[in-house]
């Protein structure tokens, strides 16, 4: 029981990392940024590469996060920005194309192999009578907790956070009130992308494998979280991440459901879209 | 290049054409973007595999039944489209693709990851089709589908789809029932993709879950996107592309991806659509077409009220 809850918390933390960026982007631009998971994989792959050539972990992670953030911004400035006025479908299809391109590039450059993330983490393994949590799982929980608190402070207590919230409320109106919306959106991509990369790194550490297609399932699964969380609400996304992880874990554990957990998530999403299209925590929008 | 290779490539190309035409009905005609089209394709293939291999049915009844089943499931999978619009429909269809493939993969009845082997080639009067005859058979079906879609383009149904695509609320306001037309679109697309799945499965004589996974959906979308949403000719020309690109097999997804990105960037109407726009002027429908729509709409008196 306790073990299941802890497993679900770890799983949920990985969803939080990738879903926050998606939620920020969807909240402001109303586009489904599928290539986000390309950045998730990039962060992990690049961090492993830096560790392999001998950089210390902290340095490798920092560098990887910075580059991922820049990559996210390039995707916005170089691609999405130019097609925003063409409806929802054009950026979405473009995003699918971008994601396919990114994944294949990683495969060609890095090789199709799974590689271990071999580093030493200075944290103890948690082991009691009925609970086992590896040091890497512990690291994931701690980092996610810190990130959630920082994100809350950023959004609620800083000027940047205020402008982000304003943009998410109504982009045009925010612009009319003198907010530099282009800069806010760029910041949303910077923050979201570096969090996605951090998520990739943490998951890579936890599973101790990193591979080019590691973003495939999270890319679409994170949208389950965005839908559950009510489209564009960060708080909703965080809560939804953990709810989804708990539901998945317990359904698999108690019912031994005949489908894999990813299919459960997608089924949940389809049913939710059909019967409660505004999401669990969303306001009714029409 | 041996004849057999040529025949295999042509069979795959023709099956791709049927798939592209089928997705085109959803995207180009009705404006319902589906990114789970491989699921429909797979349902047709698996339905036929189960009917012939597991239930020992002959090819011809299995053909009818499998196409019917795919149409029916297409209708079912179209249900989310009634509730969600645009981008979330895309998510729902991606979800459908993943769920369908994992059902194939994890439910014993569908053979699991090893798929179903030993599908029969169709036979007529006790004579099983050779590869050459099968290619001809697929060609005939492709012709049928092309003419069927051509025929549909001239019916009231197509006008309903147009209305739906251009503006759902406006369509509703002039009496085009959007749920009904969405269901039609999904059912027709499901039927055609199921037919493609059937033809594919009985050519390969084996089906595996991976043949219908999400990247296949991206491939089908690429065909439609490059051809230009809403055009017939584009879908047909471009289906040859995967075969031409076969020499660059290792880079296929990369090339697909880049093509999608840059088509969306520079020519959102698709390559063929954009060239047509350059030649015939940049009206969204084309002058002749506008005339025709007016004429039919006037005769029907139902769409524009003019």
What whole-number distance in Å separates Cα of residue A240 and Cα of residue A276? 15
For residue range B52-109, what is the model confidence (pLDDT) as tens digits? 888 878 888 888 999 999 989 888 877 777 776 666 788 888 888 888 888 888 877 8
Distance CA B207, CA B110 (A): 10
pLDDT at residue number A135 = 83
Q: Is the ipTM, as predicted for this complex, more than 0.90?
A: no
Structure confidence at residue B301 as a pLDDT band (50, 70, 90): very low
Residue A90 confidence (pLDDT): 78
pLDDT in the model for residue B144? 92
pTM: 0.79
Shortest Cα–Cα distance, A256 to chain B (Å): 12
What share of chain B in percent tops pLDDT 70? 78
Residue-level pLDDT at A257: 62
pLDDT at position A258 is 62
Q: Over range A272-283, report the average pLDDT.
A: 69
- pLDDT-derived band of residue A193, with 50, 70 and 90 as boundaries? very high
Closest CA to B32 of B83, B74, B90: B90
Q: pLDDT tens, A6-33?
A: 888 888 898 898 888 888 888 888 888 8
**Tens-place pLDDT, residues B233-290:** 555 655 666 667 666 667 777 877 888 888 778 776 666 666 655 555 444 445 555 5
CB B248 within 8 A of CB B242: no
Contacts of B166 (CB under 8 A, 6+ apart): B31
Transcribe B148-175 into DSSP letters: HHHHHHTSHHHHHHHHHHH-HHHHHHTT
CB A76 within 8 A of CB A185: yes
Q: Work out the pLDDT band at B197, boundaries 50, 70, 90.
A: very high
Q: What domains are there in chain B, each with its CATH number?
A: 3-300 (1.10.3470)
Residue A72: the pLDDT is 92
User: What is residue A191's three-state secondary structure?
Assistant: helix
Residue A97 counted as domain residue = yes
Cβ proximity of A240 and A19 under 8 Å: yes
* Closest Cα in chain A to B262: A94
CA A97/CA B23 separation, integer angstroms? 17
Q: Are A72 and A193 in contact (CB under 8 A)?
A: yes
Tell me, yes or no, whether A260 lies in a domain: no
Report the pLDDT averaged over residues B176-190: 86
Length of chain A, please?
A: 286
pLDDT for B10 beyond 70: yes
Q: Do the Cβ atoms of B70 and A196 come closer than 8 Å?
A: no
Query: Between chains, do A79 and B35 touch, taking CB under 8 Å as contact?
Result: no
For A202-255, what is each residue's pLDDT tens digit?
A: 999 888 888 888 888 787 788 888 888 777 778 888 888 898 888 888 887 777
Quick check: B248 contacting A, CB < 8 Å? no
Dihedral of the alpha carbons of A26, A12, A99, A206, in degrees to the nearest 10: 150
Considering the domain boundaries, does residue A242 fall inside one? no
Greater confidence, A172 or B272? A172
A106 part of contact set with chain B, CB < 8 Å: no
Point out the least confidently predicted range of A28-32, A123-127, B44-48, B188-192: A123-127
d(CA B253, CA B127): 40
* Beta carbons within 10 angstroms of residue B277's beta carbon: 17
Domain count across chain A: 1
Banded pLDDT at B230 (limits 50, 70, 90): low
Q: Nearest Cβ partner of B92 from A90, A93, A270?
A: A270
Return d(Cα B284, Cα A120) in angstroms, integer.
60
Is residue A239, in this structure, part of any structural domain at all?
Answer: no
Buried b / exposed e across B124-153, counting CB within 10 Å, b at 16+?
Answer: eeeeebeeeebbebbeebbeebbeebeebb
A261 domain residue, yes or no = no
B291: pLDDT confidence band, cut at 50, 70 and 90? Answer: low
3 state DSSP class of A64? helix
**Average pLDDT in chain B:** 78
List, for residues B138-156, the tens digit of each pLDDT value. 889 988 988 888 888 888 8
**A interface mutation test: which of B79, B93, B98, B110 has the most A CBs within 10 A?**
B98
A/B interface, count of CB pairs below 8 Å: 126
Total residue count of chain B as it appears in this document: 306
Q: In 10 A of CB B294, how many CB atoms?
A: 13
Query: Cα(B184)–Cα(B199) distance, rounded to whole angstroms?
Result: 23
Predicted confidence at residue B217, as pLDDT, reads: 85
Residue A92 within a domain? yes
Tell me what pLDDT residue A279 has. Answer: 66
Q: Is residue A65 part of a domain?
A: yes
Domain holding A105, by residue range, is 2-216
A68: nearest Cα among A174, A181, A204: A204
CB-CB: which of B80, B86, B259 is closest to A274? B80
Q: What pLDDT digit, counting tens, does each position of A44-94 carry?
A: 999 999 888 888 888 889 999 999 999 999 999 988 888 887 777 778 888
Higher-confidence residue of A246 and B294: namely: A246
Lowest-confidence segment of A158-162, A201-205, B178-182 by average pLDDT: B178-182
B51: number of Cβ within 10 Å: 22
What percentage of residues in chain B have a pLDDT greater than 90?
8
Contact across the interface for B98 and A263, Cβ inside 8 Å: yes
Q: How confident is the model at residue B306 (pLDDT cuts 50, 70, 90)?
A: very low
pLDDT-based confidence at residue B28 (cuts at 50, 70, 90): confident
Predicted pLDDT of residue B296: 55
Average pLDDT over chain A reads: 84
């Amino acid at each position: 029981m306790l073990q299941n809850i802890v497993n679900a918390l770890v799983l949920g933390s990985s969803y939080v990392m990738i879903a926050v960026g998606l939620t920020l982007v969807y909240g402001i631009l109303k586009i489904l940024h599928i290539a986000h998971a390309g950045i998730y994989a990039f962060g992990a792959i690049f961090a492993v590469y830096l560790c392999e050539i001998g950089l210390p972990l902290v340095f490798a992670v920092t560098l990887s996060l910075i580059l991922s953030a820049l990559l996210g911004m390039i995707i916005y400035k170089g691609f999405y920005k130019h097609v925003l006025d063409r409806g929802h479908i054009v950026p979405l299809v473009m995003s699918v194309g971008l994601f396919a391109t990114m994944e294949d590039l990683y495969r060609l450059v890095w090789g199709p192999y799974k590689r271990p993330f071999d580093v030493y983490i200075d944290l103890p393994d948690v082991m009691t009578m009925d609970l086992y949590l590896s040091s890497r799982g512990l690291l994931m929980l701690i980092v996610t907790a810190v990130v959630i608190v920082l994100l809350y402070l950023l959004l609620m207590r800083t000027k940047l956070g205020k402008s982000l919230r304003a943009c998410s409320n109504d982009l045009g109106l925010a612009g009319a009130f003198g907010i530099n919306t282009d800069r806010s959106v760029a910041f949303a991509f910077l923050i979201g992308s570096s969090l996605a990369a951090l998520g990739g790194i943490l998951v890579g550490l936890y599973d101790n494998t990193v591979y080019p297609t590691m973003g495939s399932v999270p890319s679409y699964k994170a949208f389950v979280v965005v839908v559950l969380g009510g489209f564009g609400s960060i708080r909703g996304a965080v809560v939804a991440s953990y709810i989804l992880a708990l539901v998945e874990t317990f359904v698999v554990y108690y019912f031994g459901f005949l489908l894999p957990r990813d299919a459960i998530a997608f089924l949940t999403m389809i049913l939710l879209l059909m019967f409660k299209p505004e999401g669990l925590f969303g306001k009714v929008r029409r | 290049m041996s004849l057999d290779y040529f025949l295999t490539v042509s069979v795959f190309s023709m099956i791709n054409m049927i798939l592209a035409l089928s997705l085109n009905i959803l995207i180009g005609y009705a404006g319902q973007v589906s990114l789970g089209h491989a699921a429909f394709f797979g349902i047709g293939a698996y339905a036929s595999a189960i009917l012939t291999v597991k239930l020992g049915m002959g090819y011809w009844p299995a053909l009818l039944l499998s196409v019917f089943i795919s149409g029916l499931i297409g209708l079912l999978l179209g249900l989310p489209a009634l509730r969600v619009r645009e981008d979330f429909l895309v998510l729902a269809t991606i979800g459908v693709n993943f769920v369908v493939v994992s059902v194939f993969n994890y439910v014993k009845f569908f053979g699991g990851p090893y798929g179903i082997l030993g599908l029969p080639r169709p036979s007529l009067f006790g004579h099983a089709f050779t590869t050459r005859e099968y290619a001809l058979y697929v060609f005939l079906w492709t012709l049928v589908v092309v003419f069927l879609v051509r025929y549909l383009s001239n019916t009231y149904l197509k006008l309903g789809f147009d209305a739906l695509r251009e503006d759902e609320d406006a369509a509703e306001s002039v009496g085009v029932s959007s749920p009904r037309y969405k269901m039609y679109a999904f059912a027709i697309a499901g039927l055609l993709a199921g037919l493609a799945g059937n033809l594919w499965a009985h050519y390969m004589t084996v089906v595996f879950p991976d043949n219908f996974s999400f990247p296949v959906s991206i491939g089908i979308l690429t065909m439609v996107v490059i051809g230009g949403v809403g055009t017939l000719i584009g879908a047909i020309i471009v289906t040859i592309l995967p075969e031409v690109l076969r020499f660059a097999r290792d880079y296929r997804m990369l090339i697909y991806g880049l093509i999608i990105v840059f088509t969306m960037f520079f020519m959102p109407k698709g390559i063929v659509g954009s060239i047509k726009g350059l030649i015939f002027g940049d009206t969204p429908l084309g002058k002749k077409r506008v005339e025709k729509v007016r004429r039919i709409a006037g005769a029907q008196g139902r769409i524009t009220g003019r």
